[in-house]
Every structure is written in structure tokens, then in C-alpha cells.
Amino acid sequence: MPRPLIDLLWRDAPDAPSGGSRGPRPKHSVGDVVDRAIVLADDLGLAGLTVRALADSLGMTTMSVYTHVGSRDDLLVLMADRAHAHMTVTPFSAARWRARVRTVADDNLALIRRHPWLLDVHDSRTALGPGTIAKYDRELHAFDGADADDIARDAALSFMLDFVRAAAARIVRMPDDAAFGEAWEQSAGSLTRYLGDDFPLARRVGAAAGEAMGAPYDAQRAWEFGLDRVIAGLADLDA
């Protein structure tokens, strides 16, 4: 029987129960299983991360995987916490909280770019893990110096991270702009004919934006604009 999820999340803690049993030592540890699952998810997405595929990549049976983790849902929690524990963190160098919040946002975007499958993990139990708790504590410190009590600090961080997830989903899943460029060349004449004089505002703004961006959507431009608005929206924390 696998250990409870909380014990698996905290398996490296000094006082964690060993979960050991008599018999030969397992070929793979829980950490091995989680790390391999992350590699597969990075390559194949969560749809390709089946327990069978994981077992095959480790040279294990499917049932052996379930002796390490209780379920695929538990595995996803362990993976997310592991990713949070090992994310690349930019040290805070700015004195102002607004700049630190921008650093946290950029780090979280980089994390999702590296592990896009995190967008599909919605299990609230992830909050129980050491990697996630350490991440939360570190990111709360971005608001040091702001006029925010504990509840407001938590809400402000959640507000910013919600933006990051929404923007990151568009960034990592958006179609190739080069492909649209070809479609535009083939369709522009017909589209102009179909539109005629309809929707003048959309045509004027779309033309200006398209000329500025070279595409109908610029992920980096949208990221910078949106993050500026998020940070501006938190300005009353300076009150």
C-alpha cells in the first residue's frame, strides 16, 4: 500500500515516516517515479502521461507504480509540488514591491513555459506540499513594504497569479504566427470584399495593431500590457 499523499509530499522531511516494509528494496523511489512522470508530461502533455506509459519508461509494472503513488491524481499533485520546489527563482533585487511582483510574475511564466501541463493541474491538495508552501512564502514576501494585511497580501498574490495562468495559457497554446501570415496573404483580398464598409472601427484598430505587431496577436506585448495593468490595479496597496 502506498503512503498517504501528505506523507508522500513530505517524504524528505527529517521526521517523515519511512513507509518501509520487509522485503527487497524497491528498484525505484517515489522521487524517481515523480521525476520520470514530469519528463513524460513535458514531452507528451498530461494526455500522454498514462500510468502504463510511466511504468514502461521505468521498467516497472503498472501495479508497481501504484505501490509508490496511490492514484494518478496523487501523482499530479506530487509532480506539481516537485516543479514548484525546483522552479528557477530570480532573487529580489528591487526595493519597491511593484518591481518584486513583476519578478514573481516573470518567474511563474517561465515555470509554465517549462512545464505547460501545470495549467491542467487544478487539485487544491497541491497547497499541502513543501515545494508549494515554500513558493507561496517566497512570493508573499514580494509584497513586503506594501500597505497590506495578511488577507490582502494573500488576495493580491492570488490576483497576480491568476493573471499569469490566463496569459500563460494563451502564450503556450497559441497557434504559430507564421501560419497565420500565410493564411492572411491568401485571404486578405476576399475578406476586404466581404466586409465592405462594415465594422469600420474593427478594421481601423485591427489594421493599426496588425501593422504594429506583424500578427493579429503578440503574446509578449499582451503580457507586458496586462501585467502593467495588474500592478497598477494593486496600486492602492501603497495607500
Q: Which pLDDT value is given to residue 74? A: 97
Average pLDDT on 204-221 reads 72
**Residue 199 clears pLDDT 90, i.e. is over it:** no
Contact 86, 100 (CB under 8 A): no
Q: What is the DSSP string of 62-131?
A: HHHHHHHSS-HHHHHHHHHHHHHHT---PPP--SSHHHHHHHHHHHHHHHHHH-GGGGG---GGGGGSHH
Confidence of residue 127 (pLDDT cuts 50, 70, 90): very high
> Looking at per-residue confidence, does 208 or 166 come out higher?
166
The answer to whether the CB of 133 falls within 8 A of the CB of 127 is yes
Give the model confidence (pLDDT) of 52-96 as tens digits. 999 999 999 999 999 999 999 999 999 999 999 999 999 998 789
Average pLDDT over the chain reads 88
pLDDT digits (tens, 9 = 90+) for 100-116: 999 999 999 999 999 99
Which domains does the chain carry?
5-84 (1.10.10.60), 87-174+220-238 (1.10.357.10), 177-216 (no CATH)
Specify the residue for cell string 504594429: 212
Q: How does residue 165 score in pLDDT terms, banded at 50, 70 and 90? A: very high
Please state the pTM of the whole predicted model: 0.86
**The pLDDT value given to residue 173:** 81
Contact 68, 54 (CB under 8 A): no
